[in-house]
Amino acid sequence: MNLYYGEMESPVGTLTIVSDGERVVRIDYGTFADVEVKLQKWSARYFNQPAFIEKPEKVAHAAAELGDYFQEKRRDFTFDVAFYGTPFQQKVWQALNDIPYGDTKTYKDIAQAINNPKAVRAVGGAVNKNPFSIVVPCHRVIGANGKMVGYGGGLDKKEYLLTHEAQ
């Protein structure tokens, strides 16, 4: 099996978008060279060591929608995605999709939303493993004290995205 990738420039830096040829399977901060080791480890778990082939046309639809998001022309994404993760992670990622544009929720809010109020730490772990930067809005999750905490792309990116959505 092959996985296809393309890179796009954005206000938060280069994004690498990965597709199985039909659906987007990941969006990561950084160039392919920056995230290649991470992608190899991740893909070994779900795809049995696929080849990564640079084919921007396979992710052009996702790149176009992300471009529209950054130009304030889009709030929701319509391209097909495929989630690869544990059932718990997938449940958390689905709950992230329910956070309205421009709003924030705490990790505790997400734990309650998935009917597992004691799983705050596990929710944090699942949020950290979110394979769809920006599209599955983990940037909208903040600490219980209202402060920005942890973000895979860096707090500067999280702050940019929240400010962008607050406009």
Give me the active site residues, please.
Answer: 138
Distances (CA, A) of 103 to 96, 97, 160: 11, 11, 14
Helix, strand, coil % in the chain, rounded to nearest 5: 45, 15, 40
The single residue listed with the structure tokens 């597709």 is 19
- 3-class secondary structure for 33-80? HHHHHHHHHHHHHHHCCCEEEECHHHCHHHHHHHHHHHCCCCCCCCCC
Q: What is the CA radius of gyration of the chain?
A: 15
For residues 110 and 91, give the distance between their C-alpha atoms in angstroms, rounded to a whole number.
10
